[in-house]
Amino acid sequence: MYNILVVDDEPMICKGVASVLLNSDIAISEIFIAHNGFEALDYIRLDKIDLVLTDIQMDLMNGIELIETIFVENPTIPVIVLSAHGEFEYAQKALRFGVKEYIVKPISPIELVRMTKVLLLERETRLRTLTDATFNHKFSFEDMTSNKNYILNELVSEGINQSEIDEVFSYLGYRFDGPFYCMLVIKLDLTKAGLFEHEISSFRDRNLLKYASLNVIEETLNKWESIVFYSASNSISVVLQFSQEEINNTTRLNQQTMIAQLVHNHLLTFINMKSVIGISRIREGIKSWVEIYKEANEAVHWSDIHKDHNVFYIEDFGQHESPPLIGSNQIKNQIDEDNNSFIHSTIQFIDQNFRQKGLKLQDIADSVFLSPNYLSYLFKKIVGINLWDYVTKLRMEEGKRLILTTDKRRYEISDEIGYESPEHFSKIFKKHFGVSPSEIKN
């Protein structure tokens, strides 16, 4: 049974889409309706959502911003854009963030049902298709010792002269204009993996899993300009390129961490491969590849401290020159103190700003100069609940207090604690307390 979220600021469209889907033969458990991006995020954070259908042009948070946020926080949710004719070019900007399809308004019920079925079934069949294609392919050791891998490893470890760049990349068959680059290093756990999570002991099986992992990563990154290659013994490296326009985009860090999280999720989903991913800073020029390769590898080493985390961005650890050695208690204690300080500052910021309309996870992370990915991990680890659950808890407790101690109307309370819609506030309130705002006052 599937949960589907419909997001549009026109109530009649939401009701129409919901009606069409509920009357189809799709096995739907519940359809949630949100009238802006912020309401949609509440549902995504509080419920298991299998598919999102969203408009682009909406007040408060438009569809593009919503899609970007979804793929930072939960990149596995497929998204369909409901687009007007004039918005099609604008909607294409969301393609890199995993948008699967566009349905042009007015919506054809037949097309809506067909596309919804396709995307819901895709997740169930993709594993089998990819796995069969990968493991039935004849593995060749030459794939891992090719000139391409040798040259790229030489570039990231030893560097290249400016005068050699055109010749080398012409030979490799790549056109990499950049001018900005970021490196991901993906460290694979080859001790136990594959469909049945068998112990991996043979040379052939280890290398077959590396080959399968490379295929999954390349497929995941097919919408980004990237180079994927085998690096250290159990690692695969990725060079991502960014244009000047993308660098000027304030959400570029979201894109880096989202890509890394997406790669991690796909490796785990499709071939049961556990991994740790390090992310470098973005730097200019191909000559910076040596530096960003070192940064990505350094980020990976922080998994020695945070063994229950998977994606590490180097700037989250910028105050430390390198991760502490195992058993180095003095440095380890300092890191624990720093992390507790980050969380203390985060709680202070949330306590002061939870009533703010349009509060975003990125805003909270920016306040303590951490990535949303790492802050969310630290917050759950130290506080014991999800970061956004903490925001919702404060809003609900304040709403309850205002209901019980004031004569303010529901729309006034909703507005005061950061919700645009009193109806949405009531839904979240009932989910949180088990009773509606009117029932709790009686």
Q: Which amino acid is at 120?
A: L
> SS3 of 368, please?
coil
Q: What is the distance between the alpha carbons of residues 179 and 282, in angstroms, rounded to a whole number?
A: 10
Please give the angle made by the CA atoms of 195, 302 and 262, to the nearest 5 degrees.
45
- pLDDT at res. 305: 87
- pLDDT at res. 311: 94
Any idea of the CA torsion for 73, 79, 83, 89, to the nearest 10 degrees? 70
Q: Find the radius of gyration of the CA atoms of the chain.
A: 24
Residue 47: beta bridge partners? none
- pLDDT at res. 135: 52
- pLDDT at res. 381: 93
Strands 198-199 and 283-284: unpaired
Which range has highest mean pLDDT (61-65, 101-105, 210-214)? Answer: 210-214
All residues at 6 or more sequence positions from 166 whose CB lies less than 8 Å from its CB, including other chains: none
pLDDT tens per residue, range 106-133: 888 898 898 888 888 876 665 455 555 5
pLDDT tens per residue, range 257-298: 888 988 998 898 888 899 999 999 999 999 999 999 999 999
- pLDDT at res. 412: 94
> SS3 of 31, please?
strand
Q: What is the distance between the alpha carbons of residues 257 and 235, in angstroms, rounded to a whole number?
A: 18
Residue 241: beta bridge partners? 181
Phi and psi at residue 356, to the nearest 5°:
-70, 125
- pLDDT at res. 107: 81
Closest Cα partner for 17 from 64, 51, 41?
51
Strands 311-313 and 275-279: parallel
Predicted TM-score (pTM) of this structure: 0.78
Give the model's confidence band at 89: pLDDT under 50 very low, under 70 low, under 90 confident, else very high.
low
- pLDDT at res. 132: 54
